[in-house]
Amino acid sequence: MTSFTQIQRQHDLLQPIRDWLESIEIHNAKLAHFLCKLIPAQCPFERDVVVFGRKLFHIPPMCKLNPLYEEVVGLRFKALCYLADECGEDVAVYC
């Protein structure tokens, strides 16, 4: 018997990209630093647009619009772990 989740995964066009992002391993400090600088620690751009004290509209966080958000954040976490565990670096600058 096939579950709904299995059917959904079979029809997910982004699944190969998700799998690729999840399979990336970090073995290079330069790459880890690059990823930590490139991928923000928080969802960027969430804003309330206010004019003369009245809220006109709300711009949602961009992470809600990115279908690969979880995988990208996971990649950033792998890079942070590599820098902290393997290189012994203080990663507080990236938090």
Mean pLDDT across the stretch 86-94?
95
User: What's the Cα-to-Cα distance from 16 to each of 67, 68, 69, 85, 93, rounded to whole Å?
Assistant: 13, 11, 15, 29, 32
Q: What was the pLDDT predicted at 72?
A: 93
List, as own/partner pairs, every contact residues 85-94 make where C-beta atoms lie below 8 angstroms and the sequence separation is at least 24, other chains included: 87/29, 87/32, 89/29, 91/36, 94/36, 94/37, 94/41
The residues that bridge with 59 in the sheet, in sequence order, are: 47
Domain count, the chain: 1
Q: pLDDT averaged over the chain?
A: 88
Main-chain dihedrals φ then ψ at residue 26, nearest 5 degrees:
-100, 120
Residues 6 or more apart in contact with residue 78 via CB below 8 angstroms: 24, 25, 26
Show the domain range for 60. Answer: 4-94
Answer whether 0.85 is exceeded by the pTM: no
pLDDT digits (tens, 9 = 90+) for 16-74: 999 999 999 999 999 999 999 999 888 877 888 999 999 999 888 878 778 999 999 99
